[in-house]
């Protein structure tokens, strides 16, 4: 009984927080999604599936999000992994802390300001002007899906580097020696030892980046020039411009649902990979 009460006390702050800040708002959004837009905007209670029927009107936003979020995650992974590997395995401990801090430093400035800086780098007087000097004319970078992708990778890279770094840092270096002693080439050691052991870090990093990207609106708004539209941008518009809370709620619930499904499938997939890894280590 006393044990129970103590657990209750321990869990109460987080439980109340989640209830008030997550569960209740979600219930409100769920209820709103079956309502209608008020005459001057806002929400009028109703029981209709009209909002969900209207979802195809935002198909492009969902499509952009579902293409660019995984693509951005993949690009971030491909850039972050070698960096994390270098930091954890190759780099001399003397430099490691300094380099790790350098990875964090950009976080000291708002993502807003950093994304805004890319407008000038990708704009006509930035990279395209440099390309013109070497004879490549008429390159348009800003306000394209590519610009959004660059912004995404830049903004989210540290979130990918750190989990991978942590899992590689914990890696028992004796396993690498053992692999080498048993005649493996360095490449084979990487594929059969290092990579499988870093799967948890990769999985965490990918999930962090992917989930945040699914709700992203800032980077597409700034670097997409209003032309590369994410679901997040559609939501901002629905709540702050057209004030259609009912439709906005339906779009939000759909996004939550898509995220739940993809993350569940992803977790299943990862736990199967993890299982294989356990088999390897048992052998």
Partner 1 sequence: MSKDDGTISKKRFMEELRRYQKGSVTRRHFLGVTGLGVASAVMGAAVPGLRPRPAWAAGDIGDRVILATWPNYHDEANFDAFTEATGAHVQVNVFGSNEEMLAKLQAGGSGWDVFVPTNYTITTYVDEDLIAPLDTSKLANYDAGSFEQRFSDAGSVNGTLYAVPKNWGTTGFAINTSKLDGAPTPTTWKEFWDLTMGTYSGRTMVHDYQLTTIGNALKYFGYSFNSVDEKELADAEKLLLDAKPHLFAISSDYQPPMRNGDAWMTMCWTGDGKQMNVDMPEIVYVLGKEGGELWSDYYAIPKGAPHMDAAYALINFLLDPAVNAKEVLAHGYPSADARTNALLPKELLEDPILYPAADLLSALEFGAAATLTDPNRAELLARFKSA
Residues that bind partner 1 in the complex, under the rule CB under 8 A: 37, 39-42, 57-58, 60-61, 110, 112-113, 116, 119-120, 123-125, 140, 142-143, 217-218, 221-222, 225-227, 229, 233-234, 236-244
> What is the nearest approach in angstroms of partner 1 to the Cβ of residue 255?
13
In 3D space, the residue among 240, 251, 232 whose CA is nearest the CA of residue 32 turns out to be 251
> What is the nearest approach in angstroms of partner 1 to the Cβ of residue 130?
15
Q: Which two tokens stand for residue 218?
A: 């800032």
Determine contact, residues 134/205, Cβ cutoff 8 Å: no
3-state helix, strand, coil in the chain (%, to 5): 80, 0, 20
Cβ proximity to partner 1: between 120 and 269 the closer is 120
Task: Count the neighbouring beta carbons within 10 Å of the beta carbon of residue 128.
Answer: 17
> What is the nearest approach in angstroms of partner 1 to the Cβ of residue 116?
7
Q: Which residues contact 123 (CB under 8 A, 6 or more apart)?
A: 141, 142
- Cα–Cα distance list, 196 to 31, 108, 167, 199 (Å): 44, 33, 10, 5
> What is the nearest approach in angstroms of partner 1 to the Cβ of residue 242?
3
Cβ proximity to partner 1: between 144 and 184 the closer is 144
Half-sphere exposure of 18 (CA within 13 A, CB side): 5
């Amino acid at each position: 009984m006393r044990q129970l009460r103590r657990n209750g006390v321990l869990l109460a702050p987080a439980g109340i927080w989640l209830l008030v800040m997550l569960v209740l708002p979600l219930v409100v959004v769920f209820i709103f999604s079956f309502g209608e837009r008020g005459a001057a905007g806002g929400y009028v209670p109703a029981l209709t599936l009209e909002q969900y029927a209207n979802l195809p009107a935002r198909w492009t936003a969902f499509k952009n999000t579902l293409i660019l979020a995984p693509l951005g995650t993949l690009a971030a992974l491909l850039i972050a992994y070698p960096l994390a590997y270098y930091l954890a395995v190759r780099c001399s401990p003397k430099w490691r802390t300094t380099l790790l801090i350098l990875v964090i430093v950009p976080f000291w400035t708002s993502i807003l300001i950093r994304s805004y800086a890319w407008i000038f780098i990708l704009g006509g007087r930035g990279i395209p002007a440099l390309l013109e000097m070497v004879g490549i004319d008429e390159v348009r970078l800003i306000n394209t899906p590519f610009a959004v992708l660059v912004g995404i990778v830049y903004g989210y890279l540290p979130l990918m580097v750190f989990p991978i770094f942590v899992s590689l840092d914990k890696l028992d270096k004796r396993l690498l020696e053992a692999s080498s002693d048993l005649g493996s080439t360095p490449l084979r050691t990487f594929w059969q030892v290092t990579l499988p052991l870093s799967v948890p870090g990769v999985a965490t990093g990918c999930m962090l980046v992917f989930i945040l990207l699914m709700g992203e609106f800032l980077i597409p708004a700034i670097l997409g020039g209003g032309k590369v539209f994410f679901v997040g941008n559609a939501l901002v518009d629905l709540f702050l411009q057209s004030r259609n809370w009912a439709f906005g709620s339906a779009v939000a619930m759909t996004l939550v649902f898509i995220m739940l499904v993809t993350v569940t499938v992803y977790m299943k997939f990862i736990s199967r990979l993890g299982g294989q890894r356990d088999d390897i280590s048992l052998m």
